[in-house]
Amino acid sequence: MEEKDKFFNMISRMCSSQEGDVSDEDITQDQLRTLGGIERIGNQLMSVVCKILLADMKSEGEAKRHIFDTDFMAIMAVNPSRWDARKREKQFSPEYVDYNIGDCDLIFGPTLIGAHWFCLVIEPKTMNFYVLDSMKPSFAAKKSKKKGVADDDMMTVVIECRDRFYDMIEIVKPNTIGKKKMSDIIWAPVPQQNNLRDCGVHILIWLSEWEPSVMLDYSEEHVANFE
């Protein structure tokens, strides 16, 4: 309970800070204390949590993880094939974030499509590209090529966002990629939700705890307690 109260106090301070772009009127106390449902975890709340996590990592020293703002990812995911990293360079340049994101161990991109949260991750050291999804689509089982199928839409976004992540690494760490071909999409083994509402909660857990070489093993009870 002490950890939970500390977490909520941090968000409250962030919301009321004059330096923040979120006010107390934007996020209610009820929202702060019910993080579980997708109805409650919108871009704004997820963005606040991302900022807090980044601030904590900076205060502890060298940033080992970078988390893209949810608004940043929302703009990319709308039409990633037309998203131009050069035009957005100021938002991820070392001058803007105070460090080179290409030097981080992992770069996270919490992404919302429709009513579902999932997370895109690139590992600059290996250039491996991961998808963390607590409700992984059944791409292999689906044979329909009909346009408009949600799984097709999501896979298109994932593939094209991977290309844009590579574009950004090439900008901040020139010649890192070279002739190396792009990574296959790696669907990381992560705990799966047993309902339609907890995807946002899983994202909040992964942002600070997920690593490629570590299999997170937590129960629905853990998710419920986090809520």
Per domain, the residue ranges of the chain are 43-217
Q: What is the pLDDT of residue 130?
A: 96
Q: What is the pLDDT of residue 51?
A: 85
The span from the CA of 80 to the CA of 100, in Å, is 22
Q: Pairing mode, if any, of strands 185-187 and 128-132?
A: parallel
Largest CA distance in the chain: 52
Terminal CA-to-CA distance of the chain, rounded, Å? Answer: 12
Q: What is the pLDDT of residue 210?
A: 92
The span from the CA of 127 to the CA of 68, in Å, is 17
Is residue 48 within 8 A of residue 11, CB to CB? The reply is yes
**pLDDT values of the chain reduced to their tens digit, one per residue, 227 residues:** 455 555 556 555 544 443 444 443 444 444 434 444 444 577 788 888 888 888 887 777 767 899 998 999 999 999 999 999 999 999 999 999 889 999 999 999 999 988 889 999 999 999 999 999 998 876 543 444 444 445 667 889 999 999 999 999 999 998 777 666 788 999 999 988 887 778 888 888 889 889 998 887 776 776 666 65
The span from the CA of 146 to the CA of 152, in Å, is 9
The span from the CA of 157 to the CA of 91, in Å, is 20
Q: What is the pLDDT of residue 5?
A: 58
Q: What is the pLDDT of residue 30?
A: 44
The span from the CA of 21 to the CA of 210, in Å, is 28
Burial string for 64-87 (b: 16+ CB within 10 Å, else e) reads ebbbbbbebbbebbeebeebebee
The span from the CA of 48 to the CA of 126, in Å, is 29
Q: In terms of Cα–Cα distance, which of 122, 16, 117, 12 is closest to 67?
A: 122
Is residue 116 within 8 A of residue 202, CB to CB? The reply is no
- Please state the pTM of the whole predicted model: 0.75
CATH class name, domain 43-217: alpha beta
Q: Is 12 left (phi over 0), alpha (psi -120 to 50) or beta?
A: alpha
